[in-house]
Chain A
């Protein structure tokens, strides 16, 4: 290809040239009228295009790609319905700070505002759910905007950026000029805490008797695993995990207590309530981890380490905010932290754990019923021998996955935490597999969420994607059913599902499938799926009315948990 700078190029060519320069090798998309010039130009560039079946899938795939690697994921779609179909995926990425760039075609610049065919104001629609967005109407702006979009998406607190390009901007030509650096005078992605703030933090840490680290997604985003572990080990501070923090600290680490929050471990929530210092590392005190904020950790001073100044004092009032990249902040803090013996506190938490094991469904003898917990635990046991990414959807199975799959590595769990987007898992897993082809990828998905995006099985078949899908099939919208059971007198409004035969359905896409109905058959099925080259769907028919325990009802005090009734453990009877 002739790349002399004087040669004029179309906006479409500049778009791909810019994407390639930003390191993009793969995009997830769906063509249409207003993006046709870009699709035509794509053929001349070293880009792998994954043809999705719905644009929502493209955004989740870009998101899965980004979460699996930390690199910017790219999704592309046409104007109007193509663009609006992306909205859910963009909002999902926004809530979980995932760096993606979404490119949409737009009607010709002269037709904007005329309600032209497939015209929609996508920059207006996505204003509150993007970190930033652009409407590009001239080819001269394409290179600069792509450069800025990638920079904005991945710097500071990452997030989605949308670029809406009119058809005439794709078609018209100009000279290609690649900006050396993005020039954004109003954008301040990096911050550093002052030395005074660091000193204040040290004072609080040294005087604490019962400190606790709350470990969130920020650890994954800033690659701060080593820094957090060094800090925690030196100061002997136990660590509680958020859902999106799982994997950031090895589950097997002696200081790692496990997950906090609505479906967190009882001892973790109790430890939070009894702590005298909370160190929030890259987490945002979501209502699902705090419960009632008025009674949340009442005796604890709180230090919040986050890169986003707007997170400080948003949900929970803190005593000190250290704004900056988590790894950099900890690197500044850690050498000055004095090592402490906190044996009493750790022993006390160990004692809290004591009574919990008897309530664990893992200890339930095989009574002929298949429980999701067993399925997930068996998948973990079978897959822990190699690099595995689990992509979970939203609902009961997501919580069971978090409880029973022991994540050791960062970026080994991909799930929609903030927005709670059902249908996320299958497409996100495709993105994760494309990004990390050497990793084994498992989808853990409910029968409800699976049917929201199951059209992407066709994408899997067409693109030859090799993942494994575990459908936790209980014939209900399980988490909603659980809430109905607990809070609405078992009035099951619109939660029972009449499902298609998932095995036949999968076979219709040309993929392999197997139904599993007994506990004894779980491991053979998992082994078969792993051995098979290509995607396999396992339809696990699990206990219909099982619930996730413990549970802190929404808005309740964090220490008021509904525990698994012990009767189940004794009799194996249905809840």
Chain B
């Protein structure tokens, strides 16, 4: 799985351009999240796509062809933090409620709503952790599940993504080490 952090202009229709481009090049988006960044007018997309190394490079090169894409980083190739938030509505009975509370604690998940026959649990973590909690809760009966999809950030002080300057200076040119430069 490749995770791309993509900085884009905050314009109408940019999400369609990005998702449509990945689709028409024959790749399937596993998850996509969009939100504002620390820079006004710039949105940040985190896109998880299954592709081999050549496929990932093609996706990156194609994304750069969109005028509204400012920067693309494939963070799966560098030390990064991945997080996802999920909320689960789990069926409960007086007998199971305490067990579910305990399990939620093990996962450092929070109970954010309680009703006589259900609980809502909020969990953040990497996908393994979220999936594990879902597996554990499944026997009790998951009534509803909502997940945000993957967010990613490089470890350390280096930032994956700074948009180019507003004066139209192009993004930094970089060449990969394998003899074929794909990004720009």
Interface set of A (CB-CB < 8 Å, partner B): 123-124, 127-128, 131-132, 152, 181, 183-188, 191-194, 196-197, 200, 308-310, 312-314, 317-321, 323
Contacts and interface: CB of A to CB of B under 8 A. Distances in A.
21 contacts: A123-B13, A127-B17, A128-B24, A183-B168, A184-B67, A185-B163, A185-B169, A186-B68, A187-B170, A188-B170, A188-B184, A192-B173, A197-B181, A308-B61, A309-B64, A310-B64, A313-B54, A313-B58, A320-B179, A320-B180, A323-B181
Interface string B155-184: 000000001111111110101000111111
B69 interface: yes
Given A187-B67, A310-B62, A320-B179, A128 B9 contact: no
B66 interface: yes
Given A192-B173, A197-B175, A313-B180, 5 more contacts: A132-B67, A186-B171, A188-B170, A319-B179, A321-B182
Contacts of A132: 66-67
A317 B54 contact: yes
A127 B20 contact: yes
Contact of B58 (A191, A314, A319, A323): A314
B65 interface: yes
A308 B65 contact: yes
Contact of B57 (A131, A183, A187, A313): A313
A24 B17 CA distance: 29
A321 B184 CA distance: 12
B181 A193 contact: yes
A403 to B, nearest CB: 33
B181 A321 contact: yes
Contact of A309 (B21, B68, B163, B182): B182
A309 B54 contact: no
Interface residues of B, number: 37
Contacts of B166: 185
A186 B17 CA distance: 14
B16 interface: yes
B64 to A, nearest CB: 7
A131 B180 CA distance: 24
A185 B175 contact: no
Contacts of B180: 312-313, 318-321
B85 to A, nearest CB: 29
Contacts of B163: 185
A186 B57 contact: no
Interface in B60-101: 61-62, 64-70
Given A127-B17, A309-B61, A185 B168 contact: yes
A321 B175 CA distance: 11
A309 B183 contact: yes
Interface of A is mostly: loop
Nearest to B12: A135
A319 B180 CA distance: 7
Among B16, B169, B179, B180, the most chain A Cβ lie within 10 Å of the Cβ of B180
Contacts of B169: 185
A161 B138 CA distance: 51
A472 to B, nearest CB: 35
A424 to B, nearest CB: 23
A264 to B, nearest CB: 27
A187 B67 CA distance: 5
A314 B54 CA distance: 8
Nearest to B63: A310
A186 B181 contact: no
Contact of B20 (A128, A191, A317, A318): A128
Given A187-B67, A314-B58, A194 B181 contact: yes
Contacts of B182: 309, 312-313, 321
B16 A186 contact: no
A562 B31 CA distance: 48
Contacts of B64: 188, 309-310
A128 B179 CA distance: 30
A263 B110 CA distance: 67
Interface in B39-62: 54, 57-58, 61-62
A191 B16 contact: no
Contacts of A197: 175, 179, 181
CB-based closest 8 A-B pairs: A310-B61, A309-B61, A321-B180, A188-B170, A186-B70, A310-B62, A187-B67, A183-B168
Contacts of A313: 54, 57-58, 180, 182
Contacts of A183: 167-168
Nearest to B70: A186
A194 B181 CA distance: 9
Given A309-B64, A321-B182, A185 B13 contact: no
A193 B21 CA distance: 26
Interface string B1-45: 000000011000100110011001000000000000000000000
A183 B54 CA distance: 32
B179 A194 contact: no
Contacts of B67: 132, 152, 184, 186-187
A254 to B, nearest CB: 33
Contact of A194 (B54, B69, B175): B175
Contacts of B167: 183, 185
Contacts of A308: 61, 65
A172 B111 CA distance: 56
B181 A185 contact: no
Contacts of B58: 310, 313-314
A250 B168 CA distance: 40
Contacts of A186: 8-9, 66-70, 164, 171
A419 B153 CA distance: 41
A128 B16 CA distance: 10
A200 B175 CA distance: 14
A152 B66 CA distance: 11
A286 to B, nearest CB: 16
Among A123, A186, A200, A319, the most chain B Cβ lie within 10 Å of the Cβ of A186
A319 B182 CA distance: 13
Given A127-B20, A184-B67, A191 B57 contact: no
A324 to B, nearest CB: 10
A188 B171 contact: yes
Given A186-B67, A309-B61, A191 B184 contact: yes
Contacts of B168: 181, 183-185
A127 B24 CA distance: 11
Contacts of B170: 185, 187-188
A200 B179 CA distance: 8
B119 to A, nearest CB: 41
Contact of A185 (B21, B54, B165, B173): B165
A131 B184 CA distance: 17
A313 B55 CA distance: 9
Contact of B61 (A185, A200, A312): A312
